[in-house]
Amino acid sequence: MTTKDRLLKERTRRRFLFTGLHLLLYFSFSLNWTSWGSFLAERLGATYLSGAIVMFVVLVVLFIVLESVFLWLSQREERS
Amino acid sequence: MMLALLHRVVVALLPFVALPAFGAGAIDGEVARQPLNPTAIVMFLLFVVATLFITWRASKATTTSSTFYNAGGQITGAQNGMAIAGDFMSAASFLGITGLMFIGGFDGLILSLGAFGAWPVLMFLFAKRVRNLGSFTFIDVISQRLDRNPIRLVTAFSTIVIVVMYLIAQMVGAGKLIQLLFGLPYELALVIVSGLVLGYVAFGGMLATT
């Protein structure tokens, strides 16, 4: 296997890893409609925020972080 | 031959895409005419003039397919991100998501997560390929590997269906805004907004819309 092939495999693996992780996080939101995710319906302390809203915000932030890490890795690879 | 036919069908159908907005009953209630608000009207007109000026400037730079579809690749990630955020905070989102949450409660929130869910996947899997292949759309990329005609038919059909759904909410929101601001008839307001948007896109391409 040439270096080029190995690099190609590595990039493809990374793409699928990030996609898989992202989809896993995305579909984890469906916990809100299952009995396993009943804890998400509870309020956060004395606030009006529910666990589901917090999860929504955390997921959006995580998506942005995932994208940033992916871009950073790609740019680092292009530079080297 | 088939592609040319498909292209003609799509182009012929495009002007009718916004037509359902005329019959949309999403906001049927009587719109009470607000007291004249000169500040709001002046701000709105300034915005229109500024965007038309940008479109005019952009149309001078839009000379090739590349500049029309992707602004010649001169838009930075941050600029594009802000433009996408602006798209996302549209009348369709405000009306659609708040409406869904009003009807279905928390279940409506899943729709707003959908956009956040879709874009990163496209970026992980397609962004670099689109750039490397010199393509403009995701359809161009998958057409390289799959049978072109069926895939283009399916994607053109699904695009039109989705755009019609999206555009109805968008046009109703924009039409109602003009109706409220200027007291114009709803149908006329829709025609004005549609004309402005068509002008931005047709003359300025990606540079003006961004």
Domain boundary assignment for chain A: 26-80
Given a cut of 50, whether residue A1 has pLDDT beyond it is yes
| Distance in Å, alpha carbon of A62 to nearest chain B alpha carbon | 10
Residue B26: the pLDDT is 47
A72 reaches B (C-beta below 8 A): no
Task: Note whether residue B5 is domain-resident.
Answer: no
Tally the domains of chain B: 1
- B37 Cβ contact partners less than 8 Å away, ≥ 6 residues apart: B181
- B194 Cβ contact partners less than 8 Å away, ≥ 6 residues apart: B18, B171
How many whole angstroms separate alpha carbon A32 and alpha carbon B106? 9
Of B25 and B159, the one with more pLDDT: B159
Average pLDDT over residues A29-53: 86
> H or E segment at B56?
helix B38-61
Task: Note whether residue B30 is domain-resident.
Answer: no
Partners of residue A74 in chain B, C-beta under 8 Å: 128
Instruction: Find the closest chain A residue to B123 by CA distance.
Output: A67
Q: Tell me how far apart the 2 most distant CA atoms of chain A are, in Å.
A: 60
- How many of the other CB atoms lie within 10 Å of CB of A53? 16
Of B30 and B70, the one with more pLDDT: B70
How many whole angstroms separate alpha carbon A61 and alpha carbon B44? 33
Summarised one tens digit per residue, pLDDT across range B181-202 is 777 788 888 888 888 888 888 8
Q: Which residue has the tokens 């279940």?
A: B107
C-beta atoms of B125 and A32 within 8 A: no
Summarised one tens digit per residue, pLDDT across range B59-91 is 888 888 888 887 877 888 888 888 888 877 777
End-to-end CA gap in chain B = 34
B123 reaches A (C-beta below 8 A): yes
The ipTM value here is 0.84
Summarised one tens digit per residue, pLDDT across range B114-158 is 877 888 888 888 888 888 887 777 788 888 888 888 988 998 899
Q: What is the DSSP letter of A50?
A: B
C-beta atoms of A60 and B116 within 8 A: yes
Partners of residue B120 in chain A, C-beta under 8 Å: 18, 22, 63, 66-67, 70
Q: For residue B186, what are the CA distances in angstroms to B14, B25, B67, B150?
A: 21, 12, 35, 39
| Distance in Å, alpha carbon of A15 to nearest chain B alpha carbon | 6
Partners of residue A33 in chain B, C-beta under 8 Å: 107
Average pLDDT over residues A23-28: 92
Assess contact for B104 and A50: CB atoms under 8 A: no
C-beta atoms of B120 and A67 within 8 A: yes
Task: Note whether residue B26 is domain-resident.
Answer: no
C-beta atoms of B120 and A66 within 8 A: yes
Q: Determine the distance from the C-alpha atom of residue B170 to the mean position of all C-alpha atoms in its chain, rounded to a whole number.
A: 8
Residue B21: the pLDDT is 53
Residue A63: the pLDDT is 93
Residue A25: the pLDDT is 93
